[in-house]
Amino acid sequence: MPTLTLHDAVGAALAEEMRRDSTVIAFGEGIATKRRDLAEEFGTRRIRNTPLSEGIIAGTAAGAAAGGLRPVADLLFAPFLCYAMDELVNSAGKLRYISGGQFRFPLVTLAMTGAGWGVGAQHNHNVEAWFVHSPGLKVVMPSTPADAKGLLKAAIRDDNPVVFLLDIGLLYQPGEVPDDEVLVPLGQAATLRPGNDVSLISYGKTVHHCVQAAETLAAEGVSAEVIDLRSLKPLDTSAILATTRKTGRVVIVHEANRLCGVGAEIAALIAEEAFSALKAPVLRLGGPDAPVPASFPLEQATVPQADAIAAAARRLCAARYA
């Protein structure tokens, strides 16, 4: 299998889907500049840069989707989605339902998120929980190049709007990507490492921190199972409940603010559906309720690291309900 970065895997998925389906178009903030090969192959009618106006970009995507196209809109940094909330949440997310299913809204919104570049608080804000909470939208956040390619292909073919978040810290990390056509279904988690003592559930870059923590714990005789959610909505509840019932101990890890984050929903799901299987309380590790600093060391301090994850797993393995 060839080795690609996550950035290049996204480009490969776009190229394959644009060749396969003439209704797939791509536009947004610098997309034709970042992906000159696509601009040269498909021309400015199908891939183009736009003015820096997120509401107009998202509104154009919603209109194009309603008109029978499959647009991919690049809004660059996740906090810029604030300027497109009406178009994405109040229009694209709701209109298929409001129309009684008469219209489809097959659009994908790309945005970079997370720590890794030291770009400061106004460019680095993990906002995935906002869109998980918005009816009609799907939300995806891959942790590997292979998943980025497979999930993006599936997202482009989906008849619903998908918010597709790319973790900045993983953007240029290489990984093996299948040469042949592989679609990764939305809503299907992956077990990256099996284990019996404790479950580490995560997505994005903290998945790799969980794998590192699991390797540390293995040397200490603790068997940790690592689950990569990949898709936050739809959420693979079956995989979450299965790993909970298997190990009885769960640590949920994400970079986004811990308060009202995706981890809180997962913890509630476990409490409602698998409480009797728990051998210790569910733990959540997340970022602080504060803007992210531009300083690289301080930025990294907001992200749950492998040592903190391993320490949380040790606490759970030592804990017992009375």
The catalytic position among 123, 125, 208, 209 is 123
Three-state SS string over the chain comes to CCEEEHHHHHHHHHHHHHHHCCCEEEEECCHHHHCHHHHHHHCCCCEEECCCCHHHHHHHHHHHHHCCCEEEEEEEEHHHHHHHHHHHHHHHHHHHHHCCCCCCCCCEEEEEECCCCCCCCCCCCCCHHHHHCCCCCEEECCCCHHHHHHHHHHHHHCCCCEEEEEEHHHCCCEEECCCCCCCCCCCCCEEEECCCCEEEEECCCHHHHHHHHHHHHHHCCCCEEEEECCEEECCCHHHHHHHHHHHCCEEEEEEEECCCCHHHHHHHHHHHHCHHHCCCCCEEEEECCCCCCCCHHHHHHCCCCHHHHHHHHHHHHHCCCC
- What residues have CB less than 8 Å from 312, skipping those under 6 apart? 251, 283, 285
User: Looking at 17, 54, 225, 265, which residue is catalytic?
Assistant: 54
Burial of 3 (0-12, 13-18, 19+ CB in 10 A): exposed
The verdict on whether 54 is a catalytic residue reads yes
Is residue 133 annotated as part of the catalytic site, yes or no? no
In one-letter notation, the amino acid at residue 264 is A
Return the active site residues: 54, 123
